[in-house]
Structure 1
Amino acid sequence: MANIITRTDAEALIPVESSKEIIQAVQHESAVLQLMKKLPNMSSKQTKMPIMSALPVAGFVNGDNGLKPVSSASWENKFITAEEIAVIIPIPEAVLDDAEYDIWAELKPSIISAFGKVIDGAVLFSTEKPTSWPDGIATSAITKKKTVTYGTGIDTAEDISELMGLVEADGFDVTGFAAEIALKSSFRGLRDKNGGLIFAPSLQADTPSTLYGQAINYVKNGSWDSSKVKLIAGDWSQAVYAMRQDMTYKVLDQAVISDASGKILYNLAQQDMVALRCVMRLGWQLPNPVTQLNGTDTRYPFAALVPAGTEHSGG
């Protein structure tokens, strides 16, 4: 009887502690997960978030016996819905037999990058996003005309200052930036009117560079759409995410893997293969509550720096 690699044999590829390690690495690989506010883990597929939609109004009392103003407030519900991100990686048994290196160690960086790309693409640009997730941050900023065209100011610093002003005008504070890596070169040497540097490159590992004193994260996982946006500024505390399920793994050795049309791609048992299946579930939401400066639907806690020559104009 020919030797085969069983499920138990293949599971040795995956160290037990790797689940938590992978989640932390995906959070580091994803620019948005570094910037957004993390909520407690979800206990079910959907979490309800009551958001204030109308603020109370106060006023002065006229004289000793004057009537005190009466006001009201209202809330609306928004939901964080956990959606699944997954990948299946088929591996021929012969490769496992002949390998002289740690295949799991070789696969792990690619898995991390793939998950980070999916998350950032959906959250920033609506790329293949689930219908239950809100529109991407850049997508919504453009729709709401919260944009500044790159190159309209005297330099990049002025463009970004104007961009921050759009966020601040709606009652939010800019707490960070996400940007394409190509923009990094234009930040070096940027100074304010007093000659002070407004860009501080990172000098330590795991410490982000800063722009106007706020963290800037460059999206390097291939999800950034440079044709639409060069940089996003915003109040990232307004964008929240939560984990429903940490990374889980399963080694398949008897499955049939097919594409969306039903065409069989691999028959693992027949082709002497195993497959590593990786799954995680998370959701995100952007509450966008009313503020004292803007109680209308035009408010948005993010603004986008768009390329010159595009159809988008400043907000």
Structure 2
Amino acid sequence: MNLQKFATSIVNRADAEAIIREQIVDAIAQDTPKSSVFMAMAKKLPNMTSKQTRIRVLDFLPTAYWVNGDTGMKQTSRQAWDNVYLTAAELAVIVPIPEAVLDDAEFDIMGEVTPRVIEAIGQRVDSAVIFGENRPSEWQNDIITLARQSGNNVALGASPDYYAKILAEDGVFSKVEDDGYAVSGVIASTNMKAKLRGLRDDAKQPIFNKTMQGATQYALDGAPMYFPDNGSFNTAIAQMVVGDFSKAVYAIRQDITVKILTEGVIQDPVSKEIVYNLAQQDMIALRVVFRLGWALPNPATRIDEDRVGCPFAYLEPATPITTQAVTFTVKDNASTPVAITDARVNVNGSNIKTNASGQAVFNLRAGIYPYAVTLKGYTKVTGTVTVAASAVTQAVTMIAE
């Protein structure tokens, strides 16, 4: 038999490449969406039934007195309460998508977009509550600002000893403890891990460690430590934030709601020009809305009866953020005004008592801040102070009741 007449031809992969359909994994290569670190660590209150929720907190504590003998007089004392308000602020976003893109896509675009939008909400909450970035005007001062006004900020220095800055006297842990609180949690940027590895206490035991039970969990001196990976931690403002997170509370007014819009127009918020006409351009829009309020009630305690402390402290970056000195000078309304000592000046949640000169000095970033000045025996004084690019002085006159 002549084998040559049975010559064959092989179809190789290169020849058939155009008709080979490669396998496509039914998902987009992306990282797992991250949630809010603050909401995971703070105390959640029942959902709000209106825009504003009031929390009653102790303002003045009663005092007990020795009677001094059988015929001594028992004295009276005063106890008072204050109101702290949680005001719901709204987070929202609209994502327009052409219908043709939805029809032609090989995967669920809506299913991929929605968790990323929710992640963005978590990032915004953490940035505003902890660092004050894009803080809603309805909210009180952020955690960093509250800690700074209480003197709970620790400078890094030229050649930082991280053990001393964190755990030694005047370190961030002791700042919280001096105000009568226990550190329940720590958050820091991821690059802080390299600075903490190898740090040991006097007994040569590591102060920074991790466990591998289920998910990896880090701890710093026994307190759970987290490294936010939703992009919220701002290293230009702080390197580490420690505190008693159970003292911070939040409540949800409106849980995350998702709505598909098929008609209407989308305007540019600045120019007011129409950017998209959904019906005319055959588009849909994914609208996500979330409303939340938070507060740091900071009730009076036996260690901090004047409510000027803070359950949080932070380690500053090498170059601290720029703030302006805001000096309140409080006097009475006499014909020759006299400075009032120990008046409590509350600037949007931050409390400082006036000194012998009647002054209380805050260090604030640019913005408009509401303030209230109170002292037993005097009428409460309220107002607002505007901080820009220079120091501010604010005179306050109090009238005796």
Shorter-chain TM-score bucket reads 0.7 to 0.9
CA–CA distance in 2 between the matches of 1:35 and 1:207? 17
Cα drift, residue 236 of structure 1: 1.0
| Residues 1:46 and 2:52 are matched in the alignment | yes
Structure 1 counterpart of 2:381? none
The structure with the larger Rg is 2
Structure 1 counterpart of 2:13? none
**Higher strand fraction: Structure 1 or Structure 2?**
2
Cα drift, residue 204 of structure 1: 3.8
| Residues 1:93 and 2:103 are matched in the alignment | no
CA–CA distance in 1 between the matches of 2:153 and 2:316? 7
Secondary structure in 2 matching 1:40: coil
Is contact 1:170-1:301 (8 Å) kept?
yes
Inter-CA distance 184–105: structure 2 relative to 1 (3 Å threshold): farther
Is contact 1:151-1:159 (8 Å) kept?
no
Structure 1 counterpart of 2:155? 149
Inter-CA distance 31–151: structure 2 relative to 1 (3 Å threshold): farther
Cα drift, residue 63 of structure 1: 2.7
Secondary structure in 1 matching 2:227: strand
Q: How many aligned residue pairs are there?
A: 288
Is contact 1:150-1:159 (8 Å) kept?
yes
Structure 2 counterpart of 1:209? 218
Structure 2 counterpart of 1:288? 298
Cα drift, residue 252 of structure 1: 0.5
- TM (norm. structure 1) is 0.85
Equivalent residue for 1:82, pick from 77, 81, 88: 88
**Higher helix fraction: Structure 1 or Structure 2?**
1
Equivalent residue for 2:258, pick from 235, 238, 249: 249
CA–CA distance in 2 between the matches of 1:103 and 1:94? 12
Structure 2 counterpart of 1:238? 247
- TM (norm. structure 2) is 0.67
Runs of 5+ unmatched residues, structure 1: 1-24
Structure 2 counterpart of 1:10? none
Range moving further from structure 2, 147-156 or 123-132: 147-156
- What letter corresponds to residue 293 of structure 2 in structure 1? G
Is contact 1:50-1:75 (8 Å) kept?
yes
Structure 1 counterpart of 2:141? 135
Equivalent residue for 1:71, pick from 65, 77, 89: 77
Cα drift, residue 89 of structure 1: 0.9
Moved over 4 A (4+): 151-154
Cα drift, residue 119 of structure 1: 0.2
Is contact 1:153-1:159 (8 Å) kept?
no
- What letter corresponds to residue 273 of structure 1 in structure 2? M
Range moving further from structure 2, 299-308 or 203-212: 203-212
Identity of aligned residues (%): 44
Is contact 1:170-1:291 (8 Å) kept?
no
Runs of 5+ unmatched residues, structure 2: 1-31, 323-401
Cα drift, residue 152 of structure 1: 7.2
Secondary structure in 2 matching 1:133: coil
